[in-house]
A and B are shown apart, each in its own frame.
Chain A
């Protein structure tokens, strides 16, 4: 049953309210105004007052406009026909291809997976970026953000991983994406020949703000169904801070008491319900999520990166164009290190990082004008080698090659006593002569 109303009693920010009855919490409506038609979602019921967030925004919405309730929550078409297609933030095709009316529809934002139906992930995803593969390997079904200040080449890194990763389906969710960036993704995927297994949901910077809210849910609902059908899906989201900001706007329009910098107290749960869609299904496929989170003011303690860090399974920091070894962390790495990868992997990883920390310390000390000791020289040398051989984004190297280079680099700079590695591994791997 479709019910129509034509009396909007209140418009505040991107929220409208109408007097109506029999309306379901969270159901979808269509708001038709002179300028355009927009989807809207019920976000609160109070007596006969119904509050809706209007995805295209309320600019130009008039009190006499028509609100038509659809009786169901937001849905997205699903099927193999989605592959290679591009959609906007409300799920309509924007690539000029055919409509997908005949496909079955999925509710977005569905229930969570029963934890007992998940399995421990074991798949190592080699990216050929040594800062990832050696120090923080990416694991199938992981959810990892890329923390970066504005202006860092995060989309480039995202695209690079998207193209290399061995996934059956790649889904890109663009949230407030600059049009140029969208074109770059598209071109990169085309050139790498991965477009036919890619689906894009693109909300660009010029689209209405509230529409951003739908993108992660659309992308993840589709990913989830492919996952249930046995596919290994990689979801790329950029930029989740833009998503959180849209949530903030809605909360403020609803007069909610903010918990921190205007963000609602539910920010953690709101982000978690999206990221937790990452999963390795028992007896079916998996979903891996890589999501850019730009840090306002380059500050990790800002509520969006902070809450994200508490939700995801680690994070990559992109700073000055390289992945920072300190702070970057893949929490699932121990599931593959030394199990799927070589036995010496974990030891090399720990020892190299520890020594690199030391070399940074020496650098700081020298910057303060202290004399150089012979020891300092060695640490500095190690620091330089580490940067050139491992951190530089130009480096393109497989894991085993990188591990060998790690041993070699240690031996160039240090004595086996100094590296804190078990004797049996030293005996086996320490380069001689």
Chain B
């Protein structure tokens, strides 16, 4: 029965399986192998090699595996398949299309079902853009197919090294992703066939571009707190740490809908299935204001929710980033949202503990920091070989244990990101949503993009800094008031405090569930913030604190009502005129 010619399981510990390989067999780190469970192959990945003992994380439940069960090595690294047909898909962490799994599996996810990531039958209208005899290298375009509103360039396989000559190229026509569209040949005479689909090992960054550029163009999210106070750059990185229930997921959902990106990749990593369902069910019904098409047409969802196997959770973020890098190679503006990177880090921790590695802080492995850094490094704005640009922007949610930002995942993330949106429990308890705390958050891009933000208004960045100072002052005065009471502070201070409260209420706070307020475009941001800053600059003259409170409350209510009105509509204008008249006479 047991042949000595096969690699066999020698230990099972949760999702970690130890395999004894046959002599002379070569194994690669991160190589894929299939563990045979009653003839059903379960996908797994090599994560440690010690002599003939190989540790593997199995991407499925290991219930029922036995010592002595056979393991087949695939000879390739864990890879994603890239090509036309990914948009609108809902994949699991290993890029299996979930909606196809349901056709034959019913309500539950059975083990060992692997379906090709791209539809093999669908035909794409291919137009070549090179000719035979041309010299190309990895990342060059061979032609394109239309996919939705995009021109999906067909890329010379990213894994090819050196330069290649196009020796054969198919003519314009409609083909499937398995049809050969070209043949390339290198100096050594090696010939490779090329299809529209190509694999890429998910844990390696794609680097087929001319150069990386400094992110200096804003990526508009339509969330005022972000866009005005802590702007995000195209190709930049940001993290959203916050205690449970503070609003990380809602914020990402909003950003996924209204951000001005070409492609949005949502990685639901170890979080609730219910949240993904909302996205899956609602996105197709929402219209992308930029294109008039369904929002789903620009979205890819990668979903490994918390009850799905832990090892595949670790893979899911890499799968997402790889897809993002691929679209960036096509010259698109890609936004990747990962919820939550802490679950990914925990998956690392679980496998590290099972391998009995020496634990670091809070039992996370010592390599947590470098893995996190390497992950965020894959974002960026690049200049491609044809001189156009592409970008991959990455926003990761962080779920710190106990809501305490001092823990390892938050701290190591803060070292590598360009913007920090820290959600605070006190703001979310007061339902000041989005609960990004302006007193602790920061964005390196505010200064980095000074130039392009100056197009909004020459004074823009200094206004923003002024408002940020106002929050600090307002908070100090508020703290003081808690100690000495309102009687203990001067009327000037009271007015400063009320101004800070007003900016908070009518600008920072944004109602995600209101059809108008949930998204604010660039023009409205400029117009409304310019008016608001006039209020901040205005020197009010109040006789008594009581009068100050009353008149400021009235003014705040006007701003508040205005933000719920359609931009430049009749009601909006009415409120605006009234506010302006107050800011003239006080």
Contact = CB atoms under 8 A, between A and B. Distances in A.
Report if A and B associate in a common complex: yes
Interface of A: 21-27, 44-48, 73, 109-121, 141, 228, 256-260, 264-266, 268-269, 272-273, 276-279, 281, 284, 301, 303, 306-307, 309-311, 313-315, 326-327, 329, 331-332, 334, 346, 350, 353-354, 357, 361, 364-365, 368, 370-371, 373, 375, 417-418, 420, 422-423
B81 interface: no
Contacts of B485: 365, 370-371
B463 to A, nearest CB: 25
Contact of A118 (B12, B13, B99, B274): B274
Contact of B66 (A45, A114, A364): A45
B278 interface: yes
Interface stretch (B57-65, B132-140, B326-334, B384-392): B57-65
Contacts of A353: 431
Contacts of B554: 417
A115 B305 contact: yes
A109 B61 CA distance: 11
Interface of B: 10-14, 61-68, 90, 98-99, 101-102, 105-111, 243-245, 270, 272-274, 276-278, 280-282, 303, 305-308, 310, 343, 346, 349-350, 353, 356, 359, 362-363, 399, 401-404, 429-431, 482-483, 485-487, 505, 513, 549, 553-554, 557, 560-561, 564
A173 B552 CA distance: 54
A424 B409 CA distance: 46
A141 B273 CA distance: 12
Contacts of B560: 420
Given A120-B277, A120-B278, A417-B553, A111 B111 contact: yes
A113 B276 CA distance: 12
Chain B CB within 10 Å — which of A115, A120, A354 has the most? A115
A233 to B, nearest CB: 14
Contacts of A258: 363
A228 B305 CA distance: 20
A27 B111 CA distance: 17
Contact of B487 (A331, A371, A417): A371
A277 B417 CA distance: 35
Contacts of B273: 112-113, 115, 118, 276, 279
A320 B554 CA distance: 38
Contact of B350 (A116, A121, A266, A276): A266
Given A24-B65, A46-B13, A73-B63, A276 B306 contact: yes
Nearest to A349: B431
B350 A228 contact: no
A244 B399 CA distance: 20
A364 B481 CA distance: 12
B353 A111 contact: no
27 contacts: A21-B67, A21-B68, A25-B63, A27-B64, A45-B11, A45-B12, A46-B13, A73-B63, A112-B108, A112-B307, A112-B308, A114-B98, A114-B101, A116-B101, A141-B274, A259-B362, A265-B349, A269-B310, A276-B306, A306-B244, A313-B272, A346-B513, A353-B431, A361-B482, A365-B485, A368-B483, A370-B487
Nearest to A109: B63
A185 B501 CA distance: 49
Given A46-B11, A47-B11, A113-B273, A354 B63 contact: no
A116 B99 contact: yes
Contacts of B303: 115
Given A112-B307, A116-B90, A268-B346, A260 B401 contact: yes
B483 to A, nearest CB: 8
A353 B429 CA distance: 9
B107 A276 contact: no
Given A47-B10, A111-B108, A313 B65 contact: no
Contact of A269 (B63, B306, B399, B486): B306
B546 to A, nearest CB: 9
A147 to B, nearest CB: 11
- Which 10 A-B pairs give the minimum distances between C-beta atoms? A301-B402, A272-B306, A276-B307, A309-B244, A370-B485, A259-B363, A26-B63, A112-B307, A45-B12, A25-B12
A28 to B, nearest CB: 11
B63 to A, nearest CB: 4
Contacts of A117: 102, 106-107
B430 A357 contact: yes
Given A45-B11, A260-B362, A260-B401, A364 B482 contact: yes
B276 A310 contact: no
B64 A119 contact: no
A382 B238 CA distance: 41
Contacts of A118: 273-274, 277
A260 B346 CA distance: 12
B229 to A, nearest CB: 22
Contacts of B277: 115, 118-120
Nearest to A23: B66
Contact of B107 (A269, A281, A311): A281
Contacts of A307: 401
Given A115-B98, A326-B429, 18 more contacts: A21-B68, A25-B66, A44-B13, A46-B11, A112-B109, A114-B101, A114-B109, A115-B303, A116-B98, A116-B99, A117-B107, A120-B282, A259-B349, A264-B353, A268-B270, A268-B346, A309-B243, A361-B482
B271 to A, nearest CB: 8
A26 B305 CA distance: 22
B461 to A, nearest CB: 31
